[in-house]
Amino acid sequence: MAATPADSGPRVPGQARIHLGSVLRTGTDGTIIALYSITFLLVGFGLIMVLSSSSITSYLAEQGFFGGFWRQATFAIIGIPLMLIAAAMPISFWKRWAWVLLGLGIALQMLVFTPLGIEVYGNRNWIQIGSFGAQPSEALKLALVIWVGTVLLRKEPLLGQMKHEIIPVVVPGALIALGVVLLGRDLGTVLIMAALVFGAMFFGGVSGKSLAVIAAGGALAVVFFVVTSPNRMQRLFGHATGNTDYSGLGWQPLHGLWALAGGGLFGVGLGGSKAKWSWLPAADNDYIFAIIGEELGLIGALLVIVLFIALAVVMLKVISGARDRFGKAVVGGILVWIVGQAFVNIGVVIGVFPVLGVPLPLISAGGTALIACLIAIGVVISIARDGVQYRAETGAVDGGKLI
């Protein structure tokens, strides 16, 4: 395929080298500063809440009160430098390696069907090597959104024609990526990935007609996979009837609501949760928002929501200033992934959605998810930096300042 406009133009030797110092020298660009600030606030807040919510289960597992915290802190220490490296990359790097990244992501996901794969809560979506466990689908999310952005950019002259908008982004690309995750029966992750692809296509400028066809097909697929699974039907039926089965499927959602409600306006105090004493499964993971509400009250819960809304607003600003369709699609997909998944997680805890088994991004315990989200934020910063450079090149100024 022909080179894209963003890839054209003169290059100087060493232009693509990584200079981490330049990543932090953001000048007066408030968007990049906001991205760093919100990300570090969410990660720092998450570490505090993981320490609180995991202390009892860590102690019972003979890892000490700080076992879960040190594990999550280790992943944060790994993820933050990787975020900075991703932020330092020129966007031409992501475009050049998009196909390789997607292939690698699918290959890693297929490892769950080898002897390395393990089953967690009925889903085979993890690999275990000694004491190290990982969820390959998190890496596949990032690879998929970068690939979708690259394909949309390269097919830009053909967009508006449905067959070119759907092929190969949806068929076979997204279907293969989602299919290998669905083989492990992890419908919650598949739904987030499907939303991610849809978001990337929406912000990437795909026509409304194609988006409507894709949405209708996705809805039919969800209905099919729900009605053909007794377990999913039970969870959906339990949610629809108010989860009255206290000793069965309703245990987790009911205890989550009780914990959330027990916090009141100001909470019972950091570390004072009762639900984390083995009453609430996944207290440091999928249901960490319930512990936030119990310990920090409505004020703490609203703070989390405000931070994710702020992250969405900043990402929308990055989309508006992106150089090309690639940047808009990739940031749009990551926005839907991180912010959308956050509100799905919160919706599950407050009872709006049935239990889907997706964590709260940047806050919940889980090393692979944290690292993948941090690298994704790094990609967003890379695109934001390129947008600043693009506006400087085109002389887009307002009152003497870059807009």
Please give the Cα distance from 349 to 359 (Å, whole number).
11
Which of 27, 143, 18, 65 is CA-nearest to residue 389? 27
Portion of the chain with pLDDT greater than 70, in percent: 88
Please give the Cα distance from 55 to 52 (Å, whole number).
6
Which of 205, 200, 95 is CA-nearest to residue 145? 200
Please give the Cα distance from 148 to 65 (Å, whole number).
43
Buried b (16+ CB within 10 A) or exposed e, 77-99: eebbeebbebbbbbbbbbbebbe
With respect to residue 61, please indicate whether it lies within any of the assigned structural domains.
yes
Mean pLDDT, the chain, rounded, equals 89
With respect to residue 23, please indicate whether it lies within any of the assigned structural domains.
no
Please give the Cα distance from 403 to 395 (Å, whole number).
10
Mean pLDDT of 182-207: 96
Q: Reply yes or no on whether the pLDDT at 47 is more than 90.
A: yes
What is the per-residue pLDDT for 212?
97
Please give the Cα distance from 319 to 331 (Å, whole number).
6
Name the domain count of the chain: 1
With respect to residue 62, please indicate whether it lies within any of the assigned structural domains.
yes
Portion of the chain with pLDDT greater than 90, in percent: 76
With respect to residue 8, please indicate whether it lies within any of the assigned structural domains.
no
With respect to residue 2, please indicate whether it lies within any of the assigned structural domains.
no
Please give the Cα distance from 79 to 154 (Å, whole number).
30
With respect to residue 248, please indicate whether it lies within any of the assigned structural domains.
yes
The residue range of the domain holding 160 is 28-390
Which of 34, 190, 138 is CA-nearest to residue 366? 138
pLDDT tens profile 256-303: 999 999 999 999 999 999 999 989 999 999 999 999 999 999 999 999
Mean pLDDT of 187-201: 96
Q: pLDDT grade, residue 122 (50/70/90)?
A: confident
What is the per-residue pLDDT for 5?
43
Q: Reply yes or no on whether the pLDDT at 206 is more than 50.
A: yes
With respect to residue 220, please indicate whether it lies within any of the assigned structural domains.
yes
**Which has the higher per-residue pLDDT, 227 or 99?**
99
| Angle value at C-alpha 186, between 237 and 344, nearest 5 degrees | 65
Lowest mean pLDDT among 4-8, 32-36, 259-263, 314-318: 4-8
pLDDT tens profile 322-333: 999 999 999 999
What is the per-residue pLDDT for 31?
94
With respect to residue 266, please indicate whether it lies within any of the assigned structural domains.
yes
